A and B are shown apart, each in its own frame.
Chain A
């Protein structure tokens, strides 16, 4: 295997980990309450702007941006849940789609109005630049995002499977009425799920901001990838999103390098559709 090919695969894995990172929140919300959050990409965007503001305007270090973005987005998640989601959940599917889509536009153009349409970028190399391992070039900011992706996935998985909070959340997801009879408040559990999902998404945004451009419409570009990752991994499955993210990252990189970038989406989506044909629930989703 040629040396460049190894670099391509390593790049693909890091890219995939990032895809997984910003998809985990989307899959969690789906798993908990069967809602497809079309504002997801714009949550990532908000995370990026929080990190940018913390770093450039408030003079906070790069390490402050990520936790702050998590906190801000988690709060926003709770607000969004009580102000919007709780009500549209009772409505038809179309209301959910349009409701979260409206939220996406509201967020996007609020940022647009406040920051303008200009592309922004974090100051260079605030997270260690690039280092070479055995000739392979690895960007510290991408590696950090990749490691955090693994930790977040593991954390969410443990939370859902090993803690009493997780059990209560899953109970609500399974049957809200029955859970309520057992003394669990569905409202609280779902609000917590939104806080966790939005917080993880904000964290993802803050980490991606270190190596991607920042612009109000960036959610459009990233949102689609998140949807594909989540449906390949299985709607609702957090580990599934990780595996799917890595898979898509590597396939994209390899096909982009070997065959040509304009064909890489064709290859990813053909494989994707082919796979769903055999396994419509996704890699790790439940039927």
Chain B
């Protein structure tokens, strides 16, 4: 009898202790949900992003005074929340818009995350952010470029990356410059997949060139994750455009590179819209037969000892990969979100939303080459910017345009293999 009582009391004590300590720990942890493609055709992107976010967590949760002006690096944890730690809850979107939507719902209703981060593919970001909007939870997107994402009148959606319209402008300016140096850029072909990313970016670029009085000569659309692209390459070979703009994820980008080689076709200028062409596994797989491909980027590693170079080293240690533009934009977006939560001093969604709206980061506070981070009413970062890089040796991208940021002069024509 007594024994039972005592053990009962002990149990209760243990439980209340457990609860209390649990509650205390919860106060000290801010959960952020990250929806990424951890499986499916773009799983390599998800694996890289996970490593990048883990490095970002390390930087935020531990003291890293060597990173200078980068917000949250200097001291351990979020000062605005009494040194609370950031914890990322990873969710797999399988590259599928419906799955992404379900994961957003789970993160918000079950994991009770303070904010959602993701979701790589524009099509998945489209659906998952709609859930966050419905529940009134801040959603930060760092890498989806479909222009319409910030045209939906959402109040809880914030995007740090430069978007399709920014890049369309970069492409028109870049090609105008190339034309001025004597390159032929009259007939432009767009090659894109049929996803949200492929079609909307193609539309935006097509409109931008039309507005400049140079309508796109050829539009080649193909189904994503193609088994064969010989027909498309032969179409290009037949029509002989001067410039090809590729809007493709990794799998198709690799297949196009291989098929172009086997059918012996090279355009004078091959310009890629990031995505697959920035995936390090693209460079490892077919970099040597894609020499001279241009690509867009907002990432430059910077001199050794600079914050961006230190971060690149940390990332390489974690993932075994070189830092690329996509993971760079993801880490940058994550820092912006963490900084807003820190300034909000709370995990209350409305306060985080207000802090995001008030974000005003200067270039020296960033790891990416943006002119800053400041959101307009639609949630788009108006200071996002980028440059043109080129895979000259088939191994490493170097910046080639605009001239002010160029490490090397652009190499023409496209060399291939």
CB distance from B168 to the nearest CB of A (A): 22
> Closest residue to B40 on the A side, CB-wise?
A217
Contact of B39 with A217 in the complex, beta carbons under 8 Å: yes
Contact of B220 with A119 in the complex, beta carbons under 8 Å: no
- A residues in contact with B238, CB < 8 Å: 4
Given A109-B39, A124-B417, does the pair A261, B254 have CB atoms closer than 8 Å?
Answer: no
- B residues in contact with A58, CB < 8 Å: none
Contact of B44 with A256 in the complex, beta carbons under 8 Å: no
Which of A62-70, A152-160, A194-202, A208-216 lies on the face that meets chain B? A208-216
- B residues in contact with A112, CB < 8 Å: 39, 43
Contact of B262 with A137 in the complex, beta carbons under 8 Å: yes
- B residues in contact with A137, CB < 8 Å: 262-264
CB distance from A122 to the nearest CB of B (A): 9
- B residues in contact with A15, CB < 8 Å: 227-228, 230
- B residues in contact with A252, CB < 8 Å: 228, 231
Given A8-B230, A8-B231, does the pair A221, B39 have CB atoms closer than 8 Å?
Answer: no
Partner of A261, one of B223, B279, B285: B223
- B residues in contact with A265, CB < 8 Å: 223
Given A119-B251, A262-B223, does the pair A211, B262 have CB atoms closer than 8 Å?
Answer: yes
Given A4-B237, A211-B262, A221-B225, does the pair A120, B285 have CB atoms closer than 8 Å?
Answer: yes
Instruction: Kindly state whether residue B357 has any CB partner on chain A within 8 Å.
Output: no
Contact of B39 with A11 in the complex, beta carbons under 8 Å: no
CA A49 – CA B254 in complex, angstroms?
Answer: 17
Given A8-B234, A120-B285, A124-B289, does the pair A211, B258 have CB atoms closer than 8 Å?
Answer: yes
Instruction: Kindly state whether residue B175 has any CB partner on chain A within 8 Å.
Output: no
Instruction: Kindly state whether residue B281 has any CB partner on chain A within 8 Å.
Output: yes
CB distance from B256 to the nearest CB of A (A): 11
Contact of A260 with B221 in the complex, beta carbons under 8 Å: yes
Instruction: Kindly state whether residue B411 has any CB partner on chain A within 8 Å.
Output: no
Contact of A215 with B41 in the complex, beta carbons under 8 Å: yes
- A residues in contact with B21, CB < 8 Å: none
- A residues in contact with B289, CB < 8 Å: 124
Instruction: Kindly state whether residue B14 has any CB partner on chain A within 8 Å.
Output: no
Contact of A220 with B41 in the complex, beta carbons under 8 Å: yes
- A residues in contact with B285, CB < 8 Å: 119-121, 213
Instruction: Kindly state whether residue A185 has any CB partner on chain B within 8 Å.
Output: no
Contact of A130 with B264 in the complex, beta carbons under 8 Å: yes
CB distance from A280 to the nearest CB of B (A): 25
CB distance from B186 to the nearest CB of A (A): 22
Q: Contact string, A247-283, partner B, CB cutoff 8 A, digits 1/0?
A: 0000011111100111011000000000000000000
Binding site for B on A (CB under 8 A): 4, 7-8, 11-12, 15, 109, 112, 116-121, 124, 130, 137, 139, 142, 211-213, 215-217, 220-222, 225, 252-257, 260-262, 264-265
20 contacts between A and B (CB under 8 A): A8-B231, A11-B234, A112-B39, A118-B44, A119-B279, A120-B285, A121-B285, A139-B262, A211-B262, A213-B251, A215-B43, A215-B251, A216-B43, A220-B40, A254-B231, A261-B220, A261-B221, A261-B222, A261-B229, A261-B231
Q: Would you list the 8 A-B pairs with minimal beta carbon distance, nearest first?
A: A256-B231, A121-B285, A117-B43, A261-B222, A257-B231, A118-B281, A119-B281, A117-B44
